[in-house]
């Protein structure tokens, strides 16, 4: 690991056990970035992207595409839901390896790559020419362990954009290989807890969530000992201001209509229930090492202020930008440097108003419940996360009501066996994950 990845003391604390969402929609390439600052000196950073066909992955590739002198992609990984896109990404960026979890999808990826490199058939128009493509057909790794294999691939930075609990093994593989981990897969940290933080070296984890990226930036404004509290902002979702009684009849279509962000169904529903903010409270606790009583949540519907840090003298330092995930993604790839032109800035010539409101814990108890799970520690957050994912699936399928999502999660967290809370292996964590999902399905049938 080179010296340029060294983080300051505030982010070093993120990798220690206590004492790195949403996206901005379709990614469009606008050509080379208009650089207003000197480019990073030295060789480009080699990047491995896990979950390359998802929202985080495609936006990361957009950043890299527009900054070829700063980054190059050495390997990609995806589940296999979009094999044609994965193959086109691999060809465009000239990667050495591609990992595909699904064998059937891997066969399609291999076929498209062969067409491009050997036949130049119908894929010509969709795969741009690239100087690195002459290196030959990428190695295609197949199976459930393939993502972990490329997580340890030789590189400078691993961006983990895998969705859900499946990202845990890849997170550990990247840490064990000594890579800097740009962490978008918050679930792996939340369910892994000390299993993850104890294996991370100082400065090795850089958060990608916009809130935690913001906190990492704001913490650079003072000494760690001067921090009074962290404040996470929440948009409030589509039901901000609603009473609990009114939430009973919410439909999946209503829950999926987020006012600010364009996201996948799980994260969108999590934002509507505020479970996502509960997960982020746990994430901030684990990343930065502050007690749960020093991590607050405030509702900010404009989604311009992405979180803040309050210092001992009463000053609050915040970061403001349009809601665009390319900013925290680019910062995670280049940390501690910034990438000019990564995302548009605010237009200060337009009149604007920012509002902040207290969180309604009575209508949205998910954040308080997450605090309870984090206070128990061990695998309790894993139970919280797994139960919620199962309940969201039930809600989207029309099996349970909106309010029953968090009610069921609360019951499962209360049933969680604290005696087996101390996870020492991935198998321990996944066993609790499996139990919580099965229990949620039992309660919701």
Write the pLDDT tens digit of every residue in 177-210. Answer: 999 999 999 989 999 998 999 999 988 999 999 9
pLDDT number for residue 96: 95
pLDDT higher for 262 or 131? Answer: 262
The per-residue pLDDT for range 17-35, each reduced to its tens digit, is 333 223 333 333 333 333 3
Cα four-point dihedral sign 372, 374, 378, 384: positive
- Where residue 7 falls among pLDDT bands split at 50, 70, 90? very low
> How many Cα neighbours within 13 Å face the side chain of 36?
4
Tell me the pLDDT band of 292, cut-offs 50, 70 and 90: very high
Can you give the pLDDT at residue 116? Answer: 82
pLDDT at 74: 97
Which has more pLDDT, 42 or 433?
433
User: In this model, does residue 134 exceed pLDDT 90?
Assistant: no
Mean pLDDT for 117-122 is 62
- In whole angstroms, give the CA distance from residue 309 to residue 16: 19
Residue 437 dihedral angles phi and psi, to the nearest 5°: -65, -45
Nearby residues of 419 by Cβ (< 8 Å), 6 or more positions away:
none
Count of other CB atoms within 10 angstroms of residue 26: 10
Q: How confident is the model at residue 135 (pLDDT cuts 50, 70, 90)?
A: low
Packed helices 275-288 and 265-273: angle between N→C axes, nearest 10 degrees = 90
Kindly report the three-state secondary structure assignment for every residue of the chain: CCHHHCCCHHHHHHHCCCCCCCCECCCCCCCCCCCCCCCCCCCCEEEEEECCCCHHHHHHHHHHHCCCCCEEEEEEEECCCCHHHHHHHHHHHCCCEEEECCHHHHHHHHHHHHHHHHHCCCCHHHCCCCHHHHHCCCEEEECCCHHHHHHCCCCCEEEECCCHHHHHHHHHHHHHCCCEEEECCHHHHHHHCHHHHCCCCCCCEEECCHHHHHHHHHHHHCCHHHEEEEEEEECCHHHCCCCHHHHCCCCHHHHCCCCCCECCHHHHHHHHHCHHHHHHHHHHHHHHCCCHHHEEEEECCCCCEEEEEEECCCCEEEEECCCCCHHHHHHHHHCCCCCCCCCCCCCCCCCCCCCCEECCCCCCCHHHHHHHHHHHCCCHHHHHHHHHHHHHHHHHCCCCCHHHHHHHHHHHHHHCCHHHCCCCCHHHHHHHHHHHHHHHHHHCC
Per-residue pLDDT, averaged over 290-302, amounts to 97
Q: What confidence score (pLDDT) does residue 11 get?
A: 35
C-alpha 170/C-alpha 145 separation (Å) is 9
Measured at the CA of 232, the angle between CA 184 and CA 221, to 5 degrees, comes to 90
Averaged over 377-392, what is the pLDDT? 94
Lowest mean pLDDT among 114-128, 264-278, 362-376: 114-128
Nearest alpha-carbon partner for 45 in 63, 69, 12? 69
Q: How far apart are CA 402 and CA 270, in angstroms?
A: 11
Across the range 39-55, mean pLDDT stands at 86
Mean pLDDT on 65-74: 96
Average per-residue pLDDT in the chain?
86
pLDDT of residue 22: 32
pLDDT, tens digit, 9 for 90 and up, residues 216-231: 999 999 999 999 999 9
Say if residue 36's pLDDT is above 60: no
Query: pTM for the whole thing?
Result: 0.85
Give the confidence band of 348 by pLDDT, cuts at 50, 70, 90.
very high
Q: 56-60, 164-168, 192-196, 258-262: which has the minimum mean pLDDT? A: 258-262
| 269/8 Cα distance (integer angstroms) | 35
Q: Is the dihedral of CA 437, 439, 444, 445 positive or negative?
A: positive
The Cα 119–Cα 108 span in angstroms is 15
Q: Copy the structure tokens of residue 25.
A: 């929609």
Mean per-residue pLDDT, 341-354: 93
Does residue 302 surpass a pLDDT of 80?
Answer: yes
Asked whether 410 and 369 are in contact (CB, 8 A), the reply is yes
User: Among 133-142, 296-305, 344-353, 435-444, which stretch is predicted with the lowest mean pLDDT?
Assistant: 133-142
- From CA 126, how far away is CA 142, in angstroms rounded? 24
Tell me the percentage of the chain whose pLDDT exceeds 70: 85
**Which residues are paired to 241 by β-bridges?**
none
Contact at 8 Å (CB) between 367 and 237? no
Q: State the pLDDT at residue 425.
A: 85
For residues 54 and 440, what is the distance between their CA atoms, to the nearest angstrom? 27
Q: What is the pLDDT of residue 418?
A: 67
Are 115 and 78 a contacting pair, CB within 8 Å?
Answer: no
Look at residues 436, 325, 445 and name the one whose alpha carbon lies nearest to residue 383.
436
Rg of the Cα atoms in the chain: 21
32, 66 Cβ separation under 8 angstroms: yes
């Amino acid at each position: 690991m080179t010296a340029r990845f060294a983080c300051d003391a505030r982010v070093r604390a993120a990798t220690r056990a206590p004492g790195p969402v949403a996206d901005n929609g379709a990614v469009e390439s606008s050509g080379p970035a208009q650089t207003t600052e000197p480019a990073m000196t030295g060789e480009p950073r080699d990047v491995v992207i896990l979950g390359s066909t998802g929202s985080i992955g495609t936006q990361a590739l957009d950043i890299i595409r527009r900054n070829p002198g700063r980054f190059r992609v050495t390997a990609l990984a995806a589940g296999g839901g979009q094999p044609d896109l994965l193959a086109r990404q691999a060809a465009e960026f000239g990667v050495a390896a591609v990992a595909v979890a699904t064998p059937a999808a891997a066969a399609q990826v291999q076929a498209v790559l062969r067409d491009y490199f050997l036949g130049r058939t119908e894929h010509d128009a969709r795969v741009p020419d690239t100087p690195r493509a002459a290196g030959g057909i990428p190695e295609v790794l197949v199976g459930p362990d393939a993502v972990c294999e490329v997580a340890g691939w030789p590189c400078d930075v691993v961006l983990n954009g895998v969705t859900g609990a499946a990202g845990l093994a890849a997170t550990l593989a990247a840490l064990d290989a000594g890579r800097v981990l740009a962490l978008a897969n918050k679930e792996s940290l939340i369910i892994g807890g000390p299993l993850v933080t104890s294996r991370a070296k100082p400065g090795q984890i850089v958060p990608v969530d916009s809130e935690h990226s913001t906190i990492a930036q704001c913490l650079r404004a003072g000494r760690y000992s001067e921090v009074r509290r962290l404040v996470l902002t929440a948009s409030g979702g589509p039901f901000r201001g609603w009473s609990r009684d009114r939430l009973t009849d919410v439909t999946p279509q209503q829950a999926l209509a987020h006012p600010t962000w364009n996201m996948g169904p799980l994260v969108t529903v999590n934002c509507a229930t505020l479970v996502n903010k509960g997960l982020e409270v746990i994430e901030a606790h684990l990343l930065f090492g502050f007690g749960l009583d020093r991590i607050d949540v405030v509702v900010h519907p404009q989604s311009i202020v992405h979180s803040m840090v309050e210092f001992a003298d009463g000053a609050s330092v915040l970061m403001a930008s349009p809601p665009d995930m390319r900013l925290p993604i680019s910062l995670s790839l280049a940390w501690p440097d910034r990438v000019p032109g990564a995302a548009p800035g605010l237009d200060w010539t337009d009149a604007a108003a920012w509002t902040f409101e207290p969180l309604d814990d009575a209508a949205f108890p998910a954040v308080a419940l997450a605090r309870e799970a984090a206070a128990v520690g061990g695998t309790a957050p894993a139970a919280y996360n797994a139960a919620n994912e199962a309940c969201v699936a039930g809600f989207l399928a029309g099996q349970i009501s909106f309010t029953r999502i968090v009610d069921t999660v609360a019951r499962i967290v209360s049933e969680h066996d604290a005696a087996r809370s101390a996870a020492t292996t991935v198998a321990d964590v996944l066993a609790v994950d499996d139990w919580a999902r099965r229990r949620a399905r039992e309660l919701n049938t």
